[in-house]
Amino acid sequence: MTQVPPSGSNLRGAVDLSSLVNRSATTEPRGAAAGTSGSPTAPGAAISVPSLVLDGTDANFGEILELSNTVPVLVDLWAEWCEPCKQLTPVIEKLVAEYAGRFVLAKVDVDSNPQLSKAFQAQSIPTVAAVINGQPVQLFNGALPEAQIREVLERVLELAAQQGVTGTAQANEVAPVVEEPVEEPLPPHHLEAYEAIERGDFETARAEYRFALTQNPNDTMAAAGLAQASLLFRLQGKTLDDIRGGAAAAPEDLPAQLLVADLDLSGGHVDDAFDRLLTLFPAQDAAGRNIIRERLLELFEVIGTEDPRVAPTRKRLTALLY
């Protein structure tokens, strides 16, 4: 999947999404305009959609691809346990609303949709891509400031115009009138940690969460935040090739294997991360086993201790310990 090129460049998609199209080939896309058969529609065409923000799944993505013949489709790959995702998605939704139908947003939960996660090569999340006339374009990873995201969207519109995709989407949803929920303010140290994460200062975020835990050892939000900030801190400044290459070159090197487990979990490959660490466990001395145990407990906090994958992993760890 290619990065967004500068304006004036040609659009080239390197990911084969044909299998996702074929899964829905016999199904007429809900709300699709007539004529969306794999080529751009007439300039300025309008298409009816249930909402400008859709849930993309392995089952329905063929229908969403059809929309990309009329209007660019943004794809936001996220997970419930991903803290930066929770910061990024509302910003993208806000911008999609501001562009008033010039984009459709498809939100994809990578934990529930492994085929889409693989198709869009989501090695870390959040990952944001676009699909224009059925062709994927990689946009960016991580939570960017709103101004930078807006610049990316403008380039996507330029690319779409080059491909003849200049239509608009019209949402036929009727939004219910609801009162705005009143959000309780975050505790001071939590707020400082969130702001530090937003600017990429993960060490400060860790320090703030640790301080919150000294004040209240039962602060589950701080414990989860500390685990997430620590994961981001360990991966910061490292490339995918460096991490995987280092682990492949030194299969017995515990720090290298711990780091690739971090990478797997950050990309949504939770079972792979847990299995890697449990497979390493028996060959380690007492110190190495304790390091793996502590890392697993930390990763449990990252994805949430109630996640259904935690209990069987914890059971396997207990069996290895005793």
Residue of 132, 138, 145 whose CA lies nearest to 91: 145
- Catalytic, out of 45, 82, 291, 292: 82
Residue of 321, 281, 269 whose CA lies nearest to 124: 269
First to last CA, the chain: 46
Backbone angles phi, psi at 198, to 5 degrees: -60, -35
Give the Cα separation of 224 and 229 in Å (integer): 9
Known catalytic membership, residue 311: no
Which contiguous run of DSSP H or E holds residue 246? helix 240-249
DSSP state of 37: S
Known catalytic membership, residue 76: no
Q: How many residues does the chain have?
A: 322
- Catalytic, out of 85, 110, 165, 259: 85
Give the Cα separation of 100 and 148 in Å (integer): 19
Q: Token pair for residue 238?
A: 């490292």
Residue 17's identity, in one-letter code, is: L
Q: Token pair for residue 116?
A: 């889409």
Does residue 219 sit in helix, strand or coil?
Answer: coil
Active-site residues, by number, are: 82, 85
